[in-house]
Amino acid sequence: MSVSIAGVIGAVVGLYVGWIDYRILKGILQASEMKNRQAGGDGGAAARYKAPLGALIFGVPIIGFPVIGYWAASQLAG
């Protein structure tokens, strides 16, 4: 199996987009937890499931986007 240059470029672009998506989703999770704590709550579901949600938020964009980027670029370039 050979590695295509277009696929590698697609994976790098996918990694960058995944990193941006991870930072956005992480900020939304933190804001949700902070909003609930400021309202007098215990942090809500964001605080209770912080570890699994953090792993999911990290794993899907950082691993999934480069895979999709590699596949899409290698299919488009031939």
Q: How many CB atoms lie within 10 A of CB 52?
A: 9
The residues, any chain, with a CB within 8 Å of residue 46's CB and separated by 6 or more, are 29, 30, 32, 33, 36, 53
User: Which tens digit of pLDDT belongs to each residue from 14-40?
Assistant: 999 999 999 999 999 889 888 888 888
**3: Cβ–Cβ under 8 A, 6 or more apart, which residues?**
none
pTM: predicted TM-score of the whole model, two decimal places: 0.81
What band does 48 get if pLDDT is binned at 50, 70 and 90? confident
- CB distance 69 to 10 below 8 Å: yes
